[in-house]
Structure 1
């Protein structure tokens, strides 16, 4: 399966879904059942664990949204992109970069996440 910019868009849409049932459905559509998601804060396996992680991030940053912070760079079965997390229409305090790998069905099977900018602890 060849990665496209649409994979990044669907990825971020799943991270922005606030309804728990709709989020589980989005994760099931976008990610493989045995997806591995890892970044400096978390390392989880499985769609349910990823959906729970997304819910926890939303609870930590209520009202914030994920958005692309530049063009996605897809090739073969992999995709890298930079994202921002912040209030709609305002500067984002959190910025990260992810590399996603697709399985043969076109779903994301692994995410290697990096945090490029995070707010200082209060």
Structure 2
């Protein structure tokens, strides 16, 4: 479980890293080369697609950060966890729930759900 928590924390770090080069390196560390990411706002594959999707979210929600409110729940090659988007100490402006498929210590697929959106 510690390895899963660490991987999920790195996943959250991808969403918070605004330096393009550092974010791209994190994407390569966290995701398999052909990883897929799907949520209600889009679907992308591969490191380039994931990096561009994250960059777009950062432009839309500049100044806000992602956090984990609790430990991920995991079994076999699956993990699920909730995330918050907002400013520390304030009510989250967005809340989501992701299910990730794991492969060789990396994330192969993300299935994202949005529970609360701003506006």
What is the TM-score with the length of structure 1 in the denominator? 0.92
Q: What is the SS of the residue equivalent to 2:82? A: strand
Cα distance in 2 for residues equivalent to 1:101 and 1:58: 24
Aligned-pair RMSD on alpha carbons?
1.3
Give the deviation of 1:6 after TM superposition: 1.3
Give the deviation of 1:71 after TM superposition: 2.1
Could you say which structure has the higher helix fraction? 2
Aligned to 1:42: 42
Instruction: Return structure 1 stretches of 4+ with deviation > 2 angstroms.
Output: none
Aligned to 1:52: 52
**Structure 2: which 5+ runs fail to align?**
none
- 1:67-106 alignment, distance < 5 Å: 67-103=67-103, 105-106=104-105
Aligned to 2:106: 107
Cα distance in 1 for residues equivalent to 2:114 and 2:37: 13
**Alignment size in residue pairs:** 118
Q: What is the SS of the residue equivalent to 1:15? A: helix
Give the deviation of 1:94 after TM superposition: 0.2
Give the deviation of 1:89 after TM superposition: 2.6
Cα distance in 1 for residues equivalent to 2:11 and 2:65: 13
- Is the CA contact 1:101–1:110 (under 8 Å) kept in the aligned structure 2? yes
Q: What is the SS of the residue equivalent to 2:24? A: helix
